[in-house]
Structure 1
Amino acid sequence: MSNQEKLPAPAGAKPAEARYFTGQAWVKMLAPAGNATACTVGDVLFEPGCRNNWHAHPHGQLLVVTTGTGIYQEKGQPARLLRAGDTVVIAPDVVHWHGATANDWFAHLAINPSANQGAPVWLEPVTEADYQAAQ
């Protein structure tokens, strides 16, 4: 796949909430809220340059990278480059962000345990300077 080739959003995906993202992302909930496991699973696609705001999950989160090249960063830590097959285990209440690199599409599964016991805490956008430094 060329990094400039546009990836289609997953069938049934909806645009991500713009107030929590810089750039365009799409989300398809594979296991939506309210299911018997209390675990949600979303298939998320980021266009090149798109990232979400700083945020934290009260019960942690798992990211499983499915395609493209992305970035993950915890507050106060160096950024980590992500590729298909990588997994990120995020402890409860750790402030972080994730998204695509400037030149590639990026998709991951976002797995949120105990999602019925607390929503993510959304914070400020990642600044352009911080995003560029993470590349």
Structure 2
Amino acid sequence: MEMIPKTPTAKGPAEWFSGDVYFDVIARGEHMRVNIVRFTPGAHTAWHRHANGQTLHVTEGVGYVQSRDGELVELHPGDTSYTPPGEWHWHGAAPGHFMSHLAMWEAADDPAGVETEWGAHLTDDEYPGDAA
């Protein structure tokens, strides 16, 4: 058994997120990555994709997830979504609501490979505003 040292909570970088987002690394093993991510009301990711897909499990609040050209899905505590490898998507809190989720993904197959590719921030037309 190995105890993993706790790392301080990190603020999500402006290149990846709109609004204030904070995350704690839960696991960063050889194969599996797990973070708990906390979004302030209206905060969300930029468009991004994962080499080996991503699973989100909402623990509190109200949020959204959407694939490019896909249906906007409202998320609530207990909801789990999976985005397949290479699919562009975004996720975050609904306006007026905090939202936290566990973000889980596998490391890149090539240790020097890119796990997550980040794209552009959402436009005002792409983020659903006061839809919640």
TM-score w.r.t. the length of structure 1 is 0.84
Residues 122 and 12 (structure 1 numbering): CA distance in 2 closer, same or farther, change over 3 Å? same
Residue matched to 1:90: 83
CA distance in 1, matches of 2:50, 2:82: 12
CA distance in 1, matches of 2:78, 2:128: 24
1:101 matched to 2:94: yes
Residue aligned with 1:63, SS:
strand
- Deviation track 1:4-27 (CA, whole Å, cap 9, x = no partner) reads xxxxxxx93110111111100001
Unaligned 5+ segments in structure 1 are 1-10
Residue matched to 1:126: 122
Cα RMSD (Å) of the superposition? 1.6
1:16 matched to 2:9: no
Residue matched to 1:26: 22
Residue matched to 1:110: 103
Contact between 1:79 and 1:134, CA under 8 Å: does it hold in 2?
no
Residue aligned with 1:19, SS:
coil
1:134 Cα deviation after fit: 8.2
Residues matched between the structures, number? 122
1:130 Cα deviation after fit: 1.2
CA distance in 1, matches of 2:18, 2:58: 19
Higher helix share: 1
Residue matched to 1:60: 53
- Deviation track 1:22-57 (CA, whole Å, cap 9, x = no partner) reads 10000100002xx24x11100000000100000000
Unaligned 5+ segments in structure 2 are 1-6
Contact between 1:23 and 1:51, CA under 8 Å: does it hold in 2?
yes
CA distance in 1, matches of 2:10, 2:114: 22
Following TM superposition, where does structure 1 have runs of at least 4 consecutive aligned residues deviating by more than 4 angstroms? none
Q: 2:64 aligns with which of 42, 63, 71?
A: 71
Moved more, 95-104 or 123-132: 123-132
Residues 61 and 134 (structure 1 numbering): CA distance in 2 closer, same or farther, change over 3 Å? farther
